[in-house]
Amino acid sequence: MTDSQAFQYVCQNAQQAALLHSSADLLEWDERTGMPASAGDYRADQVSCLRGLAHQKRTEPKYRDYLEELFQNIDSKYEPDRTSITVSQLYRDLQRDIKLSTAIVERSAKLTVKGQQTWDSARRNNCFEEFESILAEIVSLKREVGDRLREDTQRTRYEALIDEYEPDATVEQIDELFNQLRHPLVDLIKKIQGSEKRPKRELFQQALSVPIQRQLSRDVAAAIGFDFKRGRLDETSHPFCTTLGPHDCRILTRYDPQDLATGLFGTMHEAGHGMYEQGLDPAEFGLPYGSYCSLGIHESQSRMWENQVGRSQSFWQWITPILKDSFPDQYSHATAEELYFAANDVYPSLIRVEADEATYNLHIIIRYDIEKKLIDGNLNVNDVQDEWNARYHSDLGVRVDSERNGVLQDVHWSAGLFGYFPTYTIGNLIAAQLFHSAQNSISNLEQKITNGSFEELLLWTREAIHKHGRSLNSDQMVQRSTGISLSPKYLVQYLSEKLETLYDL
């Protein structure tokens, strides 16, 4: 077989595996949106079967042999082009996949489907004890997976899990970034807490029709660039985005009848994820150029649209007349400046997904520290709740008032997503740095946002990030897009300039 034929076979095989994975993703989307409660056990079997078949496809002997030969020939036969990058990235995936048996992949899929169902029930019932035993099973399994993945490497168990979400990242690098960020944020939050100037929080926290919120969210998502011909917006208990095919991106949010921010910012966040997925090459779905770079990069897209755009003065100048039309009784007398200030209300709180920009990363650091201890074996599951509550009191100065608003608030651990949390803060850092570059590249960007014209910013991200797929790692992508390596200074500068002005510091 020629190299060309081998390459074609390898790509077809990888895309067939993606077809199986996306089918499992569809079943999981259905589980989170409308599956009957009694269907859970069989759904776990369905997803487990598909994940196992996909893993077999990605590790079958013929595929391994062809990919190995192609990879060995890269230096001698190929320039660093689309073909060689595709081979290199698929080979990297293979080295990870072959360390896991089909049995452990199936077991993990089944356990995490059940874990999410148990978590959902425990959260509704405000009962961590209901979730504790299956969480212990998931943690034990993820420790085993981490040990298998770190074989023949210098990585820690936790780093081996992080690698699935943020390739090549190390705990040392993440710790350094977080330490550089934490102290300026704590200082800024203390200054804000000492300010006598406060926003009108009640502008967001009032009775607002959920059906009207739904329409508003859809209109905003469409305005910023989410393509509803290739995606849809639904509701769930915990917002997320999933891609079920090259032209089928599902974003999900939730609404609070007493809080505008929950649905609006949740939708903008997930739409940011969705627009990234819609910006990847659909012909390469299942291959590196049709796949996202890393979750840090992915989060940078969602957080940029949610924060740098959605919490900007320009955005609120645009959306205020729309809000007045949608909710005349609530917003007829509100000004754009008042709403902009309310959108940037800084106060320590319990709920991560509803946290302001300044305190948000402290939520992530708490979770990052706890899950490192869990995976490394320095914290037992039955001590997690006490650790969580203590850290929220010491780091954010708030007392957890319920298990639902504490350790049960996030879906991630029930889904086995250990190593995911740090990518949120990495994404915030990247978002600030990218937006700084976008402002330098797009003339009058703020005025364009005021006018409701978001196309140029979306096109800029398409060119800077989306079209490259997974041909670069996260560090390379940031370097290429902004001209320098990732630095916390852009996020600190962005938050300081905006919030010090708003709070008269």
Provide the number of structural domains found in the chain.
Answer: 2
pLDDT at residue 74, rounded to an integer: 82
Indicate the Cα dihedral angle 396, 398, 403, 408, nearest 10°.
Answer: -20
CA dist list (Å): 405 to 125, 177, 342, 363, 398 = 12, 27, 22, 13, 12
Q: Is residue 164 part of a domain?
A: no
Parallel/antiparallel/unpaired status of strands 240-245 and 248-253: antiparallel
Q: Which residues contact 85 (CB under 8 A, 6 or more apart)?
A: 288, 289, 471
The reply to whether 203 and 149 lie within a common domain is: no
Could you tell me the end-to-end alpha-carbon distance of the chain, in angstroms, rounded to an integer?
Answer: 69
Given the residues 159, 270, 299, 403, the one annotated as active site: 270
The span from the CA of 38 to the CA of 42, in Å, is: 9
The span from the CA of 7 to the CA of 444, in Å, is: 46
Q: Which domain, by its residues, includes 202? A: 171-502
The reply to whether 303 and 361 lie within a common domain is: yes
The SS3 call for residue 158 is: helix
pLDDT at residue 354, rounded to an integer: 86
Q: Is residue 159 part of a domain?
A: no
**CA-derived radius of gyration, the chain:** 23
The reply to whether 139 and 242 lie within a common domain is: no
The closest alpha carbon to 319, from 136, 452, 489, 460, belongs to: 452
Provide, for the chain, the percentages of residues in helix, strand and coil under a 3-state DSSP scheme, each rounded to the nearest 5: 70, 5, 25
pLDDT in tens, the chain (505 residues): 788 999 999 999 999 999 999 999 999 999 989 899 899 999 999 999 999 999 999 999 999 999 999 999 886 555 568 999 999 999 999 999 999 999 999 999 999 999 999 999 999 999 999 999 999 999 999 999 999 999 989 999 999 999 999 999 999 999 999 999 999 999 999 999 999 999 999 999 999 999 999 999 999 999 999 999 999 999 988 899 999 999 999 999 999 999 999 999 999 999 999 999 999 999 999 999 999 999 999 999 999 999 999 999 999 999 999 999 999 999 999 999 999 999 999 999 999 988 999 999 999 999 999 999 999 999 999 999 999 999 999 999 999 999 999 999 999 999 999 999 999 999 999 999 999 999 999 999 999 999 999 999 999 999 999 999 999 999 999 999 999 999 999 999 999 999 999 999 9
Residues 342 and 203 sit within 8 Å (Cβ to Cβ)? yes
**Among 154, 187, 204, where does a domain finish?**
154
pLDDT at residue 73, rounded to an integer: 87
Q: Is 354 a catalytic residue?
A: no
Q: Is residue 90 part of a domain?
A: yes
Q: Is residue 457 part of a domain?
A: yes
Q: Is residue 165 part of a domain?
A: no
pLDDT at residue 208, rounded to an integer: 97
pTM for the whole thing? Answer: 0.95
CATH number for the domain including 311?
Answer: 1.10.1370.30
